[in-house]
Structure 1
Amino acid sequence: MSRSRELLGSLIEFDTTSRESNLQLIEFVRDYLAKLDVPCELIFNAERSKANLFATLGPDNVPGIVLSGHTDVVPVDGQAWTVDPFALTEKDGRLYGRGTADMKGYIACVLAAVPKLLAAPLRMPVHIALSYDEEVGCLGVRSLLAELERRPLKPLLCIIGEPTELKPVLGHKGKLAMRCDVKGAACHSAYAPQGVNAIEYAAQLIGELGRIGARLRAPELHDPRFDPPFSTVQTGVITGGKALNIVPADCRFDFEVRALPAQDPREVTDQLERFAEQEVLPKMHAANGQSSIRFSELSTYPGLATDSQSQAAQLIAQFCGSSEFTTVAFGTEGGLFDAIGIPTVICGPGSMEQGHKPDEFVSAEQLNACDAMLDRIASSLHA
């Protein structure tokens, strides 16, 4: 594990919180691979402040395996850390730091495995794919996937190293995040009926979201592979109003749908928009014709449901030594890879129980196990 630990220490030192640039980390990885004679492609965002990285080890004329991870991490603001989140701290068999579990531990293991992958000719390629802005809606990987989609050969398998305790995961829910802006009409609260109270009408819409969510809990819509076994809806942010004696003219709320792979999350927004158009807006317009309700998408990614009998599932079972497939509650970039014809599984070191929390950690045991999994991949792919 010493090389993986060393590389993890270097990766943790880069503050790649999604609001920051990831270029220092990407350049570190590029330079590391260059010393091993592995060329990289960088795919930048429009501002050239962030980049995806794609590298190929071995032949490029046959389908191979993608080892994929995201480079960004969630903020540490307001969290009570007892160690420096951007310096690796080892204690009692645990490696602490922001991103150790989610998911720089996996990236470190992949980088440490490169010399072993190069030690003998590969009969099929291994691709390394690193992306940005996964934590804020799987944004960066889309330009990388657009590039891969143009290529004639699709990989046989993508392994995304989100923390699953190295258990093979074949499914997760999709997500749709939405914003609703309600515009009413202000007036003195003593004459409240003359205004249009944006908060009160937003509350009606939020109440309808709750009723839609309750209908999604119907037993016939359940999929027992997931926890919870139904699609969920929740409102997470609401803002509005200026003062108690002013009828509020504006209210905004953000909500999300986490949908089972077989269900379309846009059905929820379609239902809510119909309710707004038919039930809420007529009441608002009766008081003020300029009132409005506007919906806008914040982010979305599809669910994942890889067939347990597929070649991808058989390969990951061989590599991680387990065919006990499961699902996870959190989302990944997996559905986006799958959507362009790259079968995908989720399998990485650590647990999401530690992700996004203060004193995030990955155990040394899990890093060792990930190194062993990558050794098996190298052995199976050597000619």
Structure 2
Amino acid sequence: MPQASVADQAYPNSAVDWISKLISFDTTSRLSNLDLIDFIRSYLERQGLQCVLTHDRSGKKANLFATVPSASGRTTGGIVLSGHTDVVPVDGQAWTSDPFAASIRDGRLYGRGACDMKGFIGVTLQLVPMMLQARPAQPVHLAYSYDEEVGCVGAPGMIEDLVKRGVNPAGCVVGEPTSMRTIVAHKGINAYRCRVHGHAAHSSLTNRGLNAIEYAARIICMIRDIADGHKADGPFDEAFDVPYTTVQASMIRGGIALNTVPDLCEFEFEYRNLPDTSSEEILSRIRAYIDRDILPRMKDEHPSGRVEIEELAKSPGLDAAEQEAITQLVRALTNDHEVRKVAYGTEAGLFQKAGVPAVICGPGNIEQAHRPDEYVTLDQIAQCEKFLAALIGSQVPHGA
């Protein structure tokens, strides 16, 4: 929806007002997030903070990174509070209220992104004046990314930039919805598009064509075999809600007419690997099957046959070390010492890969994410405020 210029905007005061304002920006991943980013940047700059933006290639999307210095003026080390600004589509969903106009009913704040994850971002922004007044013992970094929902595409540029600038945070809390419980691990995300190229012919002359759909189907069945193998034989990690690596084909397109041999079939597939399971091994098995079994048969039928695999998204899993200072601190502040691991992916694995220890903890229940009438409870917002206020007042040493 169109937004007024940032100069005309009134900035919210409470966390609920902040979350409601953020929901009003339609930042569905297929759209630009710049209106929201400009609004946040204007607010932070008026608070005297410097914002660093990293854009995508089109210039239509951006990450925002800002630092609240420590009492001594230090801007390195400290804690990162990380959240993504994009949301999933509402197309075809039966909402009982406008998904981009927040509403409160029965102790719940409704709207697209309310829990995933504008709830967390709204709380962090509401606490900025408190941070500046309290003059924390260590810097607090605000990291807001784009395109997390399509495979954690935006955050790598922001993380690469903070590494180059020597920010060197001691820890990161990614505020995905966990019902304010501590999550110490998640799976890796790997997404690909496979294009199977055949040769078109009239369906009465199938011997002169090469059916791309039929060979794509063979590859998809092999992918299912890999999935069945992991489900039956592991490896397993029972701390995960789904305790094995999962693999699936998800979207497929091909053919132009019933009486035409299809010359192209495209499908997407993904796998979510346990953190200690090689993500490359699965792709290597698929490529080996194509090279060994599929391509020779295709070439026997027609020399134009070929198969291409394109990487769409790739993000590492998270396996937070219990001895890391950020893990111990978040556990202490939430009074939560149960080991929890989740099948969905987050940007925490990217921070860990860059040398920044990370855990996941944020308001809302993941079961509400992506659904119609998405909501976060007001109680969860209040718990998040209390948690972050305590976190900001704590010290996270390096190397603990």
Q: Does the residue aligned with 1:181 lie in a helix, a strand or coil?
A: strand
CA separation in 1, counterparts of 2:30 and 2:234? 41
Q: Is 2:56 aligned against 1:45?
A: yes
Q: Is 2:363 aligned against 1:349?
A: yes
Q: Spell out, residue by residue over 1:328-347, the C-alpha distance to the aligned partner (whole angstroms, 9 max, x if none).
A: 22111111111110001110
**1:144 counterpart residue number:** 158
**1:288 counterpart residue number:** 302
CA separation in 2, counterparts of 1:320 and 1:113? 18
Number of paired residues? 382
**1:57 counterpart residue number:** 68
State the Cα RMSD in Å: 1.7
Q: Is 2:32 aligned against 1:21?
A: yes
Aligned positions of 1:160-179 closer than 5 A: 160-179=174-193
Q: Spell out, residue by residue over 1:22-63, the C-alpha distance to the aligned partner (whole angstroms, 9 max, x if none).
A: 111111111222232222222222332221111111233551
> How many percent identity over aligned positions?
45
Which of the numbers 60, 68, 85 marks the counterpart of 2:82? 68
Q: Spell out, residue by residue over 1:298-331, the C-alpha distance to the aligned partner (whole angstroms, 9 max, x if none).
A: 1110100011222121121123232223112211
Q: Spell out, residue by residue over 1:348-371, the C-alpha distance to the aligned partner (whole angstroms, 9 max, x if none).
A: 000111111111100001001001
Contact 2:13 2:126 (C-alpha < 8 Å) held by counterparts: no
Aligned positions of 1:204-215 closer than 5 A: 204-215=218-229
Contact 1:308 1:325 (C-alpha < 8 Å) held by counterparts: no
**2:110 counterpart residue number:** 96
**1:233 counterpart residue number:** 247
Aligned positions of 1:73-222 closer than 5 A: 73-219=87-233, 221-222=235-236
CA separation in 2, counterparts of 1:235 and 1:281? 20
Amino acid aligned to 2:102: L
Give runs of ≥4 in structure 1 deviating > 3 Å: none
CA separation in 2, counterparts of 1:292 and 1:219? 32
Q: CA deviation at 1:98?
A: 0.5
CA separation in 2, counterparts of 1:61 and 1:366? 30
CA separation in 2, counterparts of 1:44 and 1:243? 42
Query: Normalised by the size of structure 2, how large is the TM-score?
Result: 0.92
Query: Normalised by the size of structure 1, how large is the TM-score?
Result: 0.96
Q: Is 2:378 aligned against 1:367?
A: no
Q: Does the residue aligned with 1:376 lie in a helix, a strand or coil?
A: helix
CA separation in 2, counterparts of 1:24 and 1:153? 27
Amino acid aligned to 2:318: L
CA separation in 1, counterparts of 2:101 and 2:167? 40
Change (3 A) 1:2 1:368: farther
Amino acid aligned to 1:267: E
Greater Cα offset, 198-207 or 52-61: 52-61
CA separation in 2, counterparts of 1:75 and 1:290? 38
**2:372 counterpart residue number:** 358
CA separation in 1, counterparts of 2:259 and 2:31? 40
Runs of 5+ in structure 1 lacking a partner?
none
Q: CA deviation at 1:153?
A: 4.5
Q: CA deviation at 1:163?
A: 0.3
CA separation in 2, counterparts of 1:219 and 1:123? 49
CA separation in 1, counterparts of 2:367 and 2:147? 21
Which of the numbers 8, 11, 23 marks the counterpart of 2:19? 8
Q: Spell out, residue by residue over 1:65-111, the C-alpha distance to the aligned partner (whole angstroms, 9 max, x if none).
A: 00000101111111111101111100000000000010000001111
Runs of 5+ in structure 2 lacking a partner?
1-11
Amino acid aligned to 1:143: G
Q: Does the residue aligned with 1:15 lie in a helix, a strand or coil?
A: coil
Q: Spell out, residue by residue over 1:261-295, the C-alpha distance to the aligned partner (whole angstroms, 9 max, x if none).
A: 11122211211111111111111111111111111
Change (3 A) 1:134 1:61: closer
Greater Cα offset, 191-200 or 288-297: 191-200
Q: Is 2:322 aligned against 1:311?
A: no
Aligned positions of 1:203-282 closer than 5 A: 203-219=217-233, 221-282=235-296
CA separation in 2, counterparts of 1:173 and 1:295? 22
Q: Does the residue aligned with 1:369 lie in a helix, a strand or coil?
A: helix
Q: Does the residue aligned with 1:277 lie in a helix, a strand or coil?
A: helix
Which of the numbers 320, 343, 348 marks the counterpart of 1:329? 343
